[in-house]
Amino acid sequence: MAEEVKANGALSAQAEELKTQGNQKFKEAHFSAAIDLYTQALELVPSAILFCNRSVAHLKLENYGYAEADATRAIECDPTYIKGYYRRGSAFFAMGKFKQAIKDLKTVCKIVPNDRDAKTKLATAQKELRAILFAECLERETPPPLNPENIIVPDSYQGLHLPDVVTESWVVNLMQEFKDQKKLHKKYVVMILLRIREILSRYTSLVYVNIPDNDEITVCGDVHGQYYDLMNIFQVNGRPNIDNPYLFNGDFVDRGSFSVEVILTLFTWKLCYPNHFHLTRGNHESKNMNKMYGFEGEVMAKYDAEVYDLFSNVFCYLPLGAVLNNKVLVVHGGLFAQDGIKLADIDNTDRVREPPESGIMCDILWSDPIKLNGRHPSKRGTSINFGPDVAHAFLNENGLDILVRSHEVKEEGYEVEANGRVITIFSAPNYCDQMGNKGAFIRFKGSEMKPKFTQFSAVPHPNIPAMNYARQFMFS
């Protein structure tokens, strides 16, 4: 927000110093450290400005539920503090709660009518709400399926042509083409997507993967459109093949500006080694996330709406999780809002749809672990946070040793919790070109199924920044 409005009440000298330190950490993009400092200051003085500062730090970490709660507390401390309404409106917008966002942003614009940021967000929230209402009222016929036979490749096209059988050497050549910032023709993109959908449609929602005693599998977390870091994973750990299987645990797209290259590379490796290259769905393999965080805009820039719609359809066929050697469950987000969920319940979940707002599918894609026992409101405003006791109970009831999940940036690329039984793995180093975190992946040997971590740093990429295709106004 452009205009700063003073909150009522003064901070103590100690609280003021903690706020200053928190502001410095925020400027350095150490948002978790900033939150800790603001929290310490709030323990001394419950101040509107401190709640609001913590709110914007949570926004940066995509903790939209916490951001909304802090902004609400800022308003409760000082109902005249306009930045509280702005931050809460921003949090509501990021959660897709456009009616609530519009109400708060109207309050801001009424008091500060010349604030450009608030006016832009308000207009966009109103536009999004109109689009949703229009889509609900409009009865549309399903468009005819894309037929690659009707897509002509011109003689001037100098790129790769898709073979009947995708081989390792062809995928390696494709990766080099993408590294050189060349495009695969639309016809072949459509063919890849149709072939992948056919493979994925054969799976149930939970895939069981067997790793022989002397073999290993690599599990990677979020990649988020960071194509050059994906290439580095294969450089560090070896390319996929029958003897070097992989599992990528969702959030392949959005944020990074090379999401098309990432997802097509992953899909072609899947075509090459369908039984040794595994993909599970993340919360960003969904239309509402893709609209806000860049994948829709990127596909529209590089291809067109037909290709984007086909991507969205194929994402719905991705499995929700994988079980490795009946010991390790791999899902993108985490566990459930209710007790008693069995692996069979996951397996029987209808996944071929956009993620719902509650239930097994929602929780698998959205929930997060915390260190406090029990279940608690989600920091994201969707699903829950679950404690070590919930994790232990679920794993014990289902005969599992470990839960591996992703979904959260970690400074070291991974984090181990719940006495070693909950692991977060995140494979997008220097997330969004600003977080400074390491990336990591895990290897499991079949005979042991004990995690071995490898960390790696970000590598250079072409001068196209992260979030280039995202809706920038959301993150101000």
The DSSP call for residue 354 is S
Residue 323: inside a domain? yes
Residues 76 and 159 both lie in one domain: no
Same domain, residue pair 106 and 159 = no
Q: Does residue 1 lie within any of the structural domains?
A: no
Those residues with Cβ within 8 angstroms of residue 276's Cβ, 6 or more apart along the chain or in another chain: 240, 241, 242, 244, 245, 246
Q: From CA 265, how far away is CA 175, in angstroms rounded?
A: 7
Q: Same domain for 26 and 152?
A: no
Is residue 259 over pLDDT 90? yes
Q: What is the DSSP string of 121-150?
A: HHHHHHHHHHHHHHHHH---PPPPPP-GGG
Using CA atoms, how far residue 187 sits from 39, 161, 168, 171, 439, in Å, is 53, 9, 20, 17, 34
Q: Residue 215 belongs to a domain with what CATH number? A: 3.60.21.10
Q: Mean of the per-residue pLDDT values for the chain?
A: 93
- Residue 286 belongs to what domain range? 148-475
Counted domains in the chain: 2
Q: Is residue 266 part of a domain?
A: yes
> Which residues pair with residue 442 across a beta bridge?
219, 453
Confidence at residue 163, expressed as pLDDT on a 0 to 100 scale: 98
DSSP code of 180? T
CA dist 64 and 378 (Å) reads 9
Q: Are 381 and 437 in a shared domain?
A: yes
Q: How does DSSP classify residue 467?
A: T
pLDDT bucket at 9, cuts 50 / 70 / 90:
low
Residues 50 and 73 in one domain: yes
Domain-embedded: residue 3: no
pLDDT (tens digit per residue) in 58-95 = 998 889 999 999 999 999 999 999 999 999 999 998 88
Domain end, chosen from 137, 172, 200, is at 137
Cite the active site residues: 284
Residue 7 forms part of a structural domain: no
What's the length of the chain? 476
The CATH number covering residue 76 comes to: 1.25.40.10
What is the side-by-side order of every strand in the sheet holding 375-377?
368-369, 384-386, 375-377
E strands of 145-253, at which residues?
Answer: 206-209, 216-220, 246-249
41 and 176 part of one domain: no
d(CA 195, CA 217): 24
> 3-class SS at 376?
strand
Q: Is residue 8 part of a domain?
A: no
Looking at the structure, tell me whether residues 162 and 117 fall in a common domain: no
Tokens encoding 265: 């590379």
Q: Which of 90, 116, 137 is the last residue of a domain?
A: 137
Q: Regarding predicted confidence, which is higher, 209 or 4?
A: 209
Structure confidence at residue 167 as a pLDDT band (50, 70, 90): very high
Q: Of 102, 137, 172, which residue is a domain's last?
A: 137
Interval 122-146: pLDDT, tens = 988 898 888 777 766 654 445 578 8
How many angstroms separate the CA atoms of 415 and 16, rounded? 32
289-293 average pLDDT score: 91
Q: Is the pLDDT of residue 214 over 60?
A: yes
Give ∠ CA 114-119-123 in degrees, rounded to 5: 155
Percent of the chain with pLDDT over 90: 84
Task: Give domain status of residue 6, yes or no.
Answer: no
Residue 154 lies in a domain: yes
Q: Are residues 175 and 89 in the same domain?
A: no
Residues 104 and 173 in one domain: no
pLDDT of residue 474: 52
